[in-house]
Amino acid sequence: MSVPAVEFSLVSKSYSIYAAPSDRLKELATFNRRLLHTDYWALRDITFEVPRGETFCIVGENGSGKSTLLQICARILEPSSGAAIVNGRVAALLELGSGFNPEFSGRDNVHLNGAILGLSSKEMNRRFPEIEAFAEIGSFIDQPVKTYSTGMIVRLAFAVAIHLDPEVLLVDEALSVGDIYFRQRCMRKVHELRARGTTILFVSHSTGDIKALGDRAMWLEHGRIMTLGRTDLVVSKYLAAMAMKDAQYLARERTVHDGEPNPPPPEVVREIPNIDHRFGDRRAEILGIAIYDDYSSKAGVLRPNSSIAVRISIQAKANLDRPIVGFMFRNNLGVDFAGTNTAREGSHLPAMAAGEICTVDFHVELPDLYPSVFSFSPAVADGTLDRYAMCDWIDNAVVLPMEPGPQPIYGQFHFPCRVEVNSKIGVGETAL
């Protein structure tokens, strides 16, 4: 049985917090007989193993202990208790420019990092052209690092980390500050290292990157492990908890500037007037749909050139990472006439935990349509516009007639049009 790349056994890390700087000296003067500090525990009883070649991702809010854990892996910090063992050469991309001397040039810092990892000067001279080419910082490679922009520091730090053949690579949210072009190159390189069997510990707030890279994931909260296991399950639980926390925050802050409470949330619609056909994996369900007119009353008919609100209520039956709610608008021939959804309109819904209910109002300006019968088909999905899983779709849940307008309709609808009659060009005038 192979030795794990990373082993943590009941690892805890505490920091001493003093009310005033002088309290530290007073405590030392008493030989710690009089304690003037409080202990802040960044990590408590962390136990896990990372096999060789695995990509292990860590999620959690700011201050949950993610960076402290990676710093212990990099041997920057020592645990207060417990055992932390990392087997193999470690390359770390932690805080920006960590390990760089700001007074030294980029070239000198590259060689310094190689020497720290035990590589000879000859070996670093061989690897340097690849590092320089990947960083793409031009003549700045021979300038002091203190003159670099944040993005340039990231470029050089990442180029060094991935070209020193690490057996364990630690990445702590550093790529989030890079430009899109370089970030994409970095992610491709991480995938290459992963394919070559490099063990990767990856911390990021981007759940998309976590799910794309991670073999397993761990969710930290206040220095403790909340969940450890399959990446998709851990991310789903984490996002659901964050969505619930956000909802609780909004409930506490639901007041407007004048002190009056905000209007209550939209009522939950629990009526589906018609179901011609229904399909989906049922990880979420349509609870109801209603159409409201200009007067906030349920519409019995549709009127040309009027405003309506399409209200759809859904309930999650399982955790949803990226719920999308929408509807399709069909004419009397069953042709999909128009449609939209929350993602299409740029209104991204937070993740939903199983049992949560969400109501969405779509405010629509109806054009001058041919007087006929139209239907609304609501839907809820989980994913993105490009890739999603349909949870629930109901064909023709609401059917309403369109009143005739004051003017005839040629075709299916009348689009807004401005007519301008040009005067004739005068005799002897030349058109340019």
DSSP track, 218-261: EEEETTEEEEEEEHHHHHHHHHHHHHHHHHHHHHHT-B-TTSPB
Three-class SS of residue 322?
coil
Instruction: State residue 370's pLDDT score.
Output: 81
The three-state secondary structure class of 75 is coil
Three-class DSSP category at 58:
strand
Give the pLDDT confidence of 98-137 residue by residue, as tens digits: 568 888 888 898 888 888 777 788 888 888 888 888 888 8
CA distance 97 to 75: 17
Q: What percent of the chain has pLDDT above 70?
A: 88
Q: What is the pLDDT of residue 152?
A: 83
For residue 42, pLDDT beyond 70? yes
Q: What confidence tier does 175 reach under pLDDT thresholds 50, 70, 90?
A: low
Structural domains in the chain, CATH included, are 6-244 (3.40.50.300), 278-403 (2.70.50.60)
Residue 218: predicted pLDDT:
93
pTM: 0.56
CA distance 102 to 262: 51
Burial environment of residue 144 by CB neighbours within 10 A (0 to 12, 13 to 18, 19 or more): middle
Residue 31 to residue 324: CA distance in whole angstroms:
61
Checking if the pLDDT of 10 tops 90, the result is yes
243-261 pLDDT, tens digit per residue, is 767 666 655 555 545 455 5
3-state secondary structure of 388: strand
| pLDDT value of position 256 | 46
Sign of CA dihedral 85, 91, 95, 101: positive
Structure tokens that stand for 126 in this block: 């061989």
Partners of residue 414 on adjacent β-strands: 368
Q: Write out the two tokens for 227.
A: 């969940």
Q: 397: pLDDT confidence band, cut at 50, 70 and 90?
A: very high
Helices (H), 64-105: 66-73
Are 214 and 231 in contact, with CB atoms under 8 Å apart? yes
Q: How far is residue 57's CA from residue 8's CA, in Å, rounded to a whole number? A: 15
Count CB neighbours of 233 within 10 A: 15
Lowest mean pLDDT among 119-133, 174-188, 350-364, 403-417: 174-188
On average, the pLDDT of the chain sits at 83
Has residue 429 got a pLDDT over 70? no
Answer whether residue 378 shows pLDDT above 50: yes
The answer to whether residues 82 and 118 touch, using CB atoms and an 8 Å cutoff, is: no
The answer to whether residues 369 and 400 touch, using CB atoms and an 8 Å cutoff, is: no
Residue 95: CA count within 13 A, CB half-sphere = 7
pLDDT of residue 150: 76
What are phi and psi for residue 304, nearest 5 degrees?
A: -60, 145
Q: How many CB atoms lie within 10 A of CB 246?
A: 12
**Residue 332 vs residue 342, higher pLDDT:** 342
pLDDT (mean) for 374-398: 91
Rounded to whole angstroms, how far apart are CA atoms 223 and 219? 10
Across residues 153-163, what is the average pLDDT? 82
The token duo for 121 is 């000067």
pLDDT: which is higher, 426 or 368: 368
